[in-house]
Amino acid sequence: MAQKACRVASGGRLVRSRGMKIPHVRPGRFHFRATADCAIAGSGLSSPGRYMSGSYAFLRDGAQRWLLAVSLPADLADWVDYVAILSLLVFMWGEGPMALAGFAVCLALPYALVGPLLASWVDRGNPGGAMLLANLGRAATTAMVLAAPNTEVLLGVVFLRSCVDSAFAPARQAMIQRVTEDRDLGAVNGLHHGLNQTAKVAGPAFGGVLLTMLPFSGVIAINACLSLLAALACLPLVGRGRNGAEAPEVAGGGFLAGFAVFQRDRLLMVALLFAAGAFFSFFLYDSQLGLVAELFGLGQGGFAMSVAASGGGGIAGALLAGRLSGGQPLRLMVLAASISGLATIGVALWALNGWAMPLAPFLLILAAMGGATAMMTVPFRVLMQRRVPSAVMARASAASEAVITATMLAAPVLGGAIAASWGVAAALLSGGILIVLLAAGTAASLTALRTRPT
């Protein structure tokens, strides 16, 4: 295992960590206590009060406000686009399951294949410019949907759009890291993820309303305008957050440097494997929740309300995680996953017994599960932004997204096979048990990392 650096506030001097020279990091940003065990600095084993963010005072910074102004239309455009293209495939062109499966693959696969490659370019340039170009490219490829004559061409356009868009999230994570004080990382990430969850709830509804009022071409035009609006909001960020001097050991290495970050840092590797495994577990049953609602006799209305409840829980969970993830991000991830897993097991056992579940408790459980998912996502981002050198932040973000996306693509197929063979409740039970086992294993790994001599 390669030697790993621990960034510390050095008061203007170069410091050494396990034999490696570490450049000065400005106090107040990526600040860690200079303990002897620097291998676990920022891991969540320090005092939680040290990083607790009690307000949104960071919004006084213009860069933070512009980042939010970029995120809102960009995230909303994703979901309006999703609803519009699904409606085109199903209701206008009469396509079936194979076309929808192809749509899902073309939508997600570029984030695993192309994102890490584009992230190398993001790290070499500046994240504000990368976000600008990503949104301009997204607007152009969204408009290209109108020229697609058939399903095959449309799926090609969707794939191209996702390729362009795969640079946006790593660039945003890099920008957040570079312009945010360490104490505010939790609150900033929580607010951004809360906006993302709000768009996830409001976007499909907004897209559905637009489809009832406008022709398909009008909806696509509005969606392209949302991406253009996000691009305009990027302009004040261009040139902000440029990379400072970094140690040569981490400044290069191409797109593989993003994956190498996790190989060098045991704690980050544990967090990534845990996050990937947990999201795999979630997606074993996520696509089956409509059948679960039907199993409980709740019908289409109950399922629609459960989706909204899950989204609402995600918003609340993101904001709460922003306040709690500052000092103990990985421990918070483990706690959230444990709660989600136990709730999932409870629902599965309830269904296996053939009992009906009233709507109210079902909605509360789905809200808790949505909140738990958000309380895993936000701390993981905070942990990365604290421990990953800024010279490779975009690549590390893209690498983690690639790993998680790959597992998420495989999970629904396996979950569907389990449900087809042993019933929907079996898929729920499998996912819940796996999450709890992952949480227990990760907690044990944290203990081992804390007691391991340096």
**Confidence check: pLDDT of 424 > 90:** no
Q: Which helix (H) or strand (E) holds 16?
A: strand 15-17
Local confidence band at 163 (pLDDT 50, 70, 90 cut-offs):
very high
**Cα end-to-end span (Å), the chain:** 13
**CA 352, 437, 315, 401 torsion: positive or negative?**
negative
| Within a domain: 307 | yes
**CATH code at 103?**
1.20.1250.20
Pairwise CA distance, residues 292 & 356, whole Å: 11
Distant-in-sequence, close-in-space partners of 243: CB < 8 Å, separation ≥ 6: 123, 126, 178, 390, 391
If one counts the domains in the chain, the total is: 1
| Within a domain: 44 | no
**Confidence check: pLDDT of 373 > 60:** yes
- Position 453 scores a pLDDT of 41
| Within a domain: 365 | yes
* Residue 17 bridge partners (DSSP): 20
**Confidence check: pLDDT of 412 > 90:** no
Q: How far is CA 291 from CA 33, 295, 409, in A?
A: 50, 6, 20
**Confidence check: pLDDT of 434 > 90:** yes
Quick one: average pLDDT of 149-177?
95
Local confidence band at 447 (pLDDT 50, 70, 90 cut-offs):
confident
- 2 in the Ramachandran plot: left (φ > 0), alpha (ψ -120 to 50) or beta? beta
DSSP state, residue 91: I
| Within a domain: 50 | no
Q: How far is CA 272 from CA 12, 268, 285, 374, 442, in A?
A: 32, 6, 21, 15, 11
| Within a domain: 24 | no
Local confidence band at 408 (pLDDT 50, 70, 90 cut-offs):
confident
> Which residues constitute the domain of residue 442?
57-451
Pairwise CA distance, residues 299 & 367, whole Å: 18
Say if residues 234 and 71 touch (Cβ distance below 8 Å).
no
Distant-in-sequence, close-in-space partners of 304: CB < 8 Å, separation ≥ 6: none
Span 250-291, pLDDT tens digits: 444 566 888 899 999 999 999 999 999 999 998 888 877 778
Structure tokens at 210: 């637009």
Span 322-358, pLDDT tens digits: 888 767 889 999 999 999 999 999 999 998 888 888 9
Residue pointed to by tokens 């296996």: 352
| Within a domain: 260 | yes
| Within a domain: 22 | no
More confident residue, 105 or 304: 105
Span 183-228, pLDDT tens digits: 899 999 999 999 999 998 888 888 888 998 999 999 999 999 999 9
pTM more than 0.85: no
Residue pointed to by tokens 């996502």: 377
Quick one: average pLDDT of 409-414?
85
| Within a domain: 41 | no
Angle at 54 between CA 51 and CA 57, to 5 degrees: 105
Span 30-64, pLDDT tens digits: 333 333 334 333 444 444 444 444 467 888 888 99
Structure tokens at 206: 């907004």
Pairwise CA distance, residues 343 & 282, whole Å: 12
Say if residues 166 and 110 touch (Cβ distance below 8 Å).
yes
- Position 96 scores a pLDDT of 83
